[in-house]
Structure 1
Amino acid sequence: MKFKNTHKDHQVTDESIYQSRRKLIKAGLLGAAGLAASPAFSLTLPTTTDKNERFVIDEITREKDATTYNNFYEFGLSKSDPAENAHTLKTEPWTLEIGGLCEVQGKLDLQNLVNGINVEERIYRMRCVEAWSMIIPWMGFKLADLIKMCKPLSSAKYVYFETLYDPKQMPGQNGRSIPWPYREGLRMDEAMNELTLMAVGMYGKELPNQNGAPLRLVVPWKYGFKGIKSIVKMKFLDQQPVNSWQAIAPQEYGFYANVNPEVDHPRWSQATERRITGGFSLFNSRIDTQMFNGYGDYVADLYNGMDLTRYY
């Protein structure tokens, strides 16, 4: 895929362009017959994007660090493995299969989706369960917008995601570290929250393979393992799905994965984090971890009445 570098400040998609894309989606892409997949594409970003500065103002992590220090076990267990090995992933053509409890089902061509939905830039804090964090400028669209297009049934309570399974492209899948393919899920109200993003780019460019190209989930108030990468399936369910890390170690990883400094991982504390901004070093100063990664004003109401030490 070839992204045009369209990293522009303070630009908003022209309303006429946006509406024409919406018409394209409604008229053809999401017709009664289902979602049409074109045979191939070269994914490009829209010429203008809305830079949304509501959520965080901090020092952005260097692109080099954000693209070379990753968890993506499909390409190896070391943090440096994805950047070294992910060149084997072929990201075009790419389709997203929609199914489950929704009216609109089928295979969705990613380029058609990008053309027909509002893409914006958002700078989010990202927190890993291993107690390191980054601040990344993502480019993507609200998951809520895609969900509305799919017209989920009233019985749909959860959204389930699945990563591509292809051991030839993803050599890490030849091992047994995870029951492949990688799986994740969100409660419907979490998926519809305004913060929840489907990312197609970062730093004004297309997503690098090692960061989850060409389509990944970004949920900034949760730990990083919720950010499933290289997504090929999305389903609407009435029962809570089991995500990959729950299946591997349910005593360590729960379904919700909300950043909570008061709940330690069994093998390390979550009370502080090491921010990666001007370069990664074990000597980087540690800072206090914020509840919900600092996004409590946007998401705390989702969990009213829940025991967040039990539903971790």
Structure 2
Amino acid sequence: MRIAPSEITPESVYLDRRRLLTGGAALLAGGLARADDDKPTSWDVITSYNNFYEYSPDKHAVAELAKNLRPRPWAVTIEGEVARPRTLDVDELAREFGVQQRIYRLRCVEGWSMVIPWDGFPLAELLKQAQPTSRARYVKFVTLHDPARFYGQRRPTLPWPYTEGLTIAEAMHPLTLLATGLYGKALPPQNGAPLRLVVPWKYGYKSIKSIVAIRLQEEQPATTWAQAAPGDYGFWANVNPRVALARGTQSRENRVGELRKRETLLFNGYAEQVAHLYAGMDVDKLR
């Protein structure tokens, strides 16, 4: 199943379109089942229903609380097992690597989903420029640790700062995106401004927000949710309707804004593009 991305237009026009434009980028971006069935979630919903524990576990409170984020200036460090470590301003990243538009499904382990038009650039472009060494087997991501801004970090709800990780192969996959915006606009604070990871075939908690460090390393990183609740949140986090987690079945999902639940797809519908990453592995045993 492939997404058919279009050039991002104003939201009012975007949502009125009954068929997204096809083209060469569609093969890269993966796919929506059909444009008529998988219409993009509205800006208002995407920006008002947010998991961002650095602020609050209350999804509806995050947008108001996150107004204090101040996402400029913002530096991102590329470090570890690379020949060219760097520290870049987030706007310098955007200028250097450009901006692409990708329409991806987002599936939360809590059972809800959205369809989001992201702006950003492939993580692989940044990593290639950093020149990973032969010992770089994993990529670790770190969120800003600043309890003065992130009210939730004043409580031991999770081990702070928030960290996530991918294998080097997952990180280099062309679907893996560093997002700088959505719907053609700058990424709002509540959605992880100014830079977040988007890995569309994995549960949403892998898409770490407000990144300040990307570290390539030999050992598998200990990620935040895998430490806090390993029964629900493992390192791999591939969307798999066949695997029930501690919270229950993952076979169906509620697309935010819809009344009826829909079937969850293996790898969130991106199996054709990413299944080869797990060749020889039993994907039903990965958590």
Q: What code does the residue aligned with 2:273 have?
A: Y
Distance 1:169 1:232 in 2: 14
Q: How far did 1:251 drift?
A: 2.5
Distance 1:176 1:52 in 2: 43
After superposition, the CA RMSD in angstroms is 1.6
Conserved 8 A contact 1:53-1:123? no
Distance 2:255 2:284 in 1: 24
Q: How far did 1:106 drift?
A: 3.0
Q: Summarize deviations over 1:49-96 as a string: whole Å, max 9, x none.
A: x99444234211011011100100011011112112001111110110
Residue 245 of structure 2 aligns with which residue?
A: 265
SS at match of 1:144: helix
Conserved 8 A contact 1:8-1:51? no
Q: What code does the residue aligned with 1:110 have?
A: V
Distance 1:251 1:62 in 2: 32
Residue 71 of structure 2 aligns with which residue?
A: 91
Distance 2:189 2:114 in 1: 18
* 1:290 has 2:270 as partner: no
Distance 2:264 2:224 in 1: 25
Residue 245 of structure 1 aligns with which residue?
A: 225
Query: Paired residue for 2:210, among 230, 233, 245?
Result: 230
Relative to structure 1, the CA distance from residue 197 to residue 275 in structure 2 (aligned partners, 3 Å threshold; closer, same or farther) is: same
Q: How far did 1:118 drift?
A: 3.0
- Consecutive unaligned residues of structure 1, counting only runs of 5 or more, are 1-5, 10-49
Residue 64 of structure 1 aligns with which residue?
A: 44
* 1:181 has 2:167 as partner: no
SS at match of 1:232: strand
Residue 176 of structure 2 aligns with which residue?
A: 196
* Count of residues paired in the alignment: 262
- The more displaced of 244-253 and 218-227 is 244-253
Distance 1:266 1:77 in 2: 19
Alignment of 1:33-112 (within 5 A): 52-54=25-27, 55=30, 56=32, 57=35, 58-112=38-92
Conserved 8 A contact 1:261-1:289? yes
Residue 207 of structure 1 aligns with which residue?
A: 187
Conserved 8 A contact 1:76-1:172? yes
Conserved 8 A contact 2:153-2:160? yes
Alignment of 1:122-133 (within 5 A): 122-133=102-113
Q: Deviating runs (4+, > 3 A) in structure 1?
A: 6-9, 50-54
Alignment of 1:99-178 (within 5 A): 99-178=79-158
Q: Summarize deviations over 1:125-146 as a string: whole Å, max 9, x none.
A: 1100011100000000000000
| TM-score, L = length of structure 2 | 0.88
* 1:304 has 2:284 as partner: no
Larger Rg: 1
Distance 2:47 2:170 in 1: 27
Distance 2:271 2:232 in 1: 23
Conserved 8 A contact 1:261-1:290? yes
Relative to structure 1, the CA distance from residue 63 to residue 8 in structure 2 (aligned partners, 3 Å threshold; closer, same or farther) is: closer
Conserved 8 A contact 1:51-1:122? no
Distance 1:208 1:267 in 2: 30
- Consecutive unaligned residues of structure 2, counting only runs of 5 or more, are 1-6, 11-22
Q: Percent of counterpart pairs with the same letter?
A: 48
Q: What code does the residue aligned with 1:160 have?
A: K
Distance 2:8 2:279 in 1: 38
